[in-house]
A and B are shown apart, each in its own frame.
Chain A
Amino acid sequence: MNRIHLKTPLYTALQAYAEKQLVHFDVPGHKKRNCSWITEAFGDRVLALDANSTKELDMLSKPTGPIKEAEQLMALAYGSDQAFFLVNGSTSGVQYMIMAACRPNEKIIMPRNVHRSAINALILSGAVPVFIEPEIDLEFGISNGVSLKTVQQAVRENPDAKALFLMHPTYFGVVSDLKQIIEYAHDHDLVVVIDEAHGAHFPFHPDLPANAMSLNADMATVSIHKTAGSLTQSSVLLLNERKIKKHDVRTIVNLMQTSSASYLLMASLDLARRQLAINGLSDYQFILHQISKAKKALNQLPGIEVMDKAYARKTAAFDYDETKFVVKVNGLGLSGFEVYDILFNEYNIQVELAESYVILAIIGVGDDNQTIFKLVEALQDIAQRCYGQKKKYEVNLSRFFKIPMMELTPREAHYHKKLLCNIKDSVGKVSGESIMIYPPGIPLVMPGEIISAEIVSHYQFYRSQGCVMVNDQDNPGLIKVVDK
Chain B
Amino acid sequence: MGKKYIRETYANDVSFTIEVEQHLHSEKSRFQQIDFYQTETFGTVFTLDDLIMVTEKDEFIYHDMICHPAFAVNPNIKRVLIIGGGDGGTAREVLRYPIEALDMVEIDERVVRLCQQFLPLTASSFDSDNRFNLLFANGLEFVANAKTGAYDLIIVDSTDPIGPGEGLFTAEFYRNCYRCLNDSGILINQHESPFYTRDCREMVRAHSKLKKTFPIARIYQFHMPTYPSGHWLFGFAAKSLDPVQDFKPAEWGSFNLQTKYYNLDLHPAAFMLPTYLKEILKGVK
Contacts and interface: CB of A to CB of B under 8 A. Distances in A.
Interface of A: 1-3, 5-6, 278-279, 281-283, 285-286, 289, 368-369
Q: Which 6 pairs show the lowest CB-CB distances between chains A and B? A: A282-B178, A285-B175, A282-B179, A282-B175, A3-B215, A1-B215
Interface string B228-240: 0000000000011
Interface of B: 144-145, 148, 172, 175-179, 211-217, 239-240
Contacts of B216: 3
Contacts of B175: 281-282, 285-286
Given A3-B215, A285-B179, A278 B239 contact: yes
Given A279-B179, A282-B213, A283-B179, 20 more contacts: A1-B212, A1-B214, A1-B217, A2-B215, A3-B216, A6-B215, A278-B215, A279-B178, A281-B175, A282-B175, A282-B178, A282-B179, A283-B148, A285-B172, A285-B176, A285-B179, A286-B175, A286-B179, A289-B144, A369-B145
A104 B73 CA distance: 62
A283 B144 CA distance: 11
| Among B148, B217, B240, residue most surrounded by chain A Cβ atoms (within 10 Å) | B148
Contact of A286 (B176, B211, B214): B176
28 contacts: A1-B212, A1-B213, A1-B215, A1-B217, A2-B215, A3-B215, A3-B216, A6-B215, A278-B215, A278-B239, A279-B178, A279-B179, A281-B178, A281-B213, A282-B175, A282-B177, A282-B178, A282-B179, A282-B213, A283-B179, A285-B172, A285-B175, A285-B179, A286-B144, A286-B148, A286-B175, A286-B176, A368-B148
Contacts of B240: 6
Describe A's contact surface by its main secondary structure: helix
Contacts of A289: 144
A5 B215 contact: yes
Nearest to A283: B179
Contacts of B145: 369
* Majority SS at the chain B contact face: helix
A289 B212 CA distance: 19
A386 B216 CA distance: 52
Contacts of B213: 1, 281-282
Contacts of B212: 1, 281
Contacts of A2: 215
A376 to B, nearest CB: 15
A281 B144 CA distance: 13
Contacts of B215: 1-3, 5-6, 278
B208 to A, nearest CB: 12
A6 B240 CA distance: 8
Contacts of B214: 1
Nearest to B148: A368
Nearest to A286: B179
B144 to A, nearest CB: 6
Contacts of A278: 215, 239
A2 B211 CA distance: 9
Contacts of B211: 1
Contacts of A279: 178-179
A5 B240 CA distance: 11
A14 B148 CA distance: 29
Contacts of B179: 279, 282-283, 285-286
A282 B215 CA distance: 12
A203 to B, nearest CB: 13
A368 B180 CA distance: 12
Q: Quick one: which of A3, A5, A285, A289 has the most chain B CB within 10 A? A: A285
Nearest to A6: B215
B210 to A, nearest CB: 9
B102 to A, nearest CB: 22
Nearest to A2: B215
Contacts of B177: 282
B202 to A, nearest CB: 21
A368 B179 CA distance: 11
- Which of A2, A3, A5, A282 has the most chain B CB atoms inside 10 A of its CB? A282
A396 B212 CA distance: 50
Contacts of A368: 148
B229 to A, nearest CB: 30
Contacts of A286: 144, 148, 175-176, 179
Contacts of A3: 215-216
A37 B44 CA distance: 72
B152 to A, nearest CB: 16
A354 B213 CA distance: 37
A138 B85 CA distance: 55
A196 B216 CA distance: 31
Nearest to B145: A369
A289 B148 CA distance: 14
A1 B175 CA distance: 12
